[in-house]
Homo-oligomer: A and B are copies of this chain.
């Protein structure tokens, strides 16, 4: 089968909401906010999230147990992700830097492991929070 292009009902509901809020959001927060659309149980959210992550529509911010919509149009599969995270205001941005991604894709570890995916999270202070 080709990469899925048409989303199922629940997948679309969850994706629509994540894209609308435009910031990292947690699974149970999604649940509360889509209950009016008919989604009632955590599993319905988690199943949609799993699929959306798999096809690269969203990413999981591992250190925060939160999900964000992909902002990187050429990132159709979540195999090479990088984020900046402000430890003060919790703002998260997806980093799109071709030199960085090239460097990491080509990285060879000494143990000879074959990598097919990476996730990188930078932490610090965003511009706004630096001033304060």
**Which A residues form the contact surface with B (CB < 8 A)?**
62-63, 84, 86, 93, 95, 97, 100, 103-104, 107, 109-127, 130
Contact = CB atoms under 8 A, between A and B. Distances in A.
6 contacts: A62-B121, A86-B113, A93-B111, A104-B120, A113-B125, A114-B124
- Tell me how many chains of this kind the complex includes: 2
Contacts of A107: 97, 100, 122
Contacts of A127: 111-113
A126 B110 contact: no
Contacts of A115: 84, 122-124
Contact of A126 (B93, B111, B119): B111
